[in-house]
Amino acid sequence: MNKIEHIGIAVSNLKDANQRYFRLFGVKPYKTEEVLSENVTTSFFRLGESKIELLEGIGENNAITKFIKSKGEGIHHIAYDVDDIASEMKRLKNEGFEIQSDAPKIGADNKLVCFIHPKSAGGVLIELCQEINN
């Protein structure tokens, strides 16, 4: 793994959260995007080399709405940048981590992604992401 790619924060209202983070950071999100495979809308802020992703659920049937219902708004996942997501998935599976999908999925911000279940990672939801080269 190369570095923390971004930190994902679950929010109940993305518009309000974008305003709040604009007041906090002094910059606007560089992108807002619907990820229909996950039923979420996301926005991304860049601070130097660091990125923050805000996520709002669309409707009821998605991980973010469920997360907020049980835990409230807050840090949802930490995402790590990898060069070869398929081989990292294989390696981590062999190490005993529970990967939530058999194959990488198309995620937000032009990335291939997968998630590691917090049960197998000390209570932290981990996202792996690999930049898609166009």
Binding site for Zn ion (CB under 5 A): 8, 53, 79, 127
Nearer to Zn ion, 94 or 128 (CB): 128
How far apart are CB 7 and Zn ion at their closest, in Å? 8
Minimum CB distance to Zn ion, residue 93 (Å): 20
Hunting for tokens 């992108």 — which residue is that?
31
Least Å from the CB of residue 76 to Zn ion? 8
| Rounded distance between C-alpha atoms, residue 26 and residue 29, angstroms | 10
Nearer to Zn ion, 81 or 94 (CB): 81
At residue 34's C-alpha, the angle toward residues 113 and 90, to 5°, is: 10
Q: Tokens 């983070």 correspond to what residue? A: 21
Nearer to Zn ion, 88 or 127 (CB): 127
The residue number with the shortest CB distance to Zn ion is 8
**How far is residue 100's CA from residue 14's CA, in Å, rounded to a whole number?**
25
State the nearest-atom distance from the C-beta of 51 to Zn ion, in Å: 9
Bridge partners of 112?
106, 130
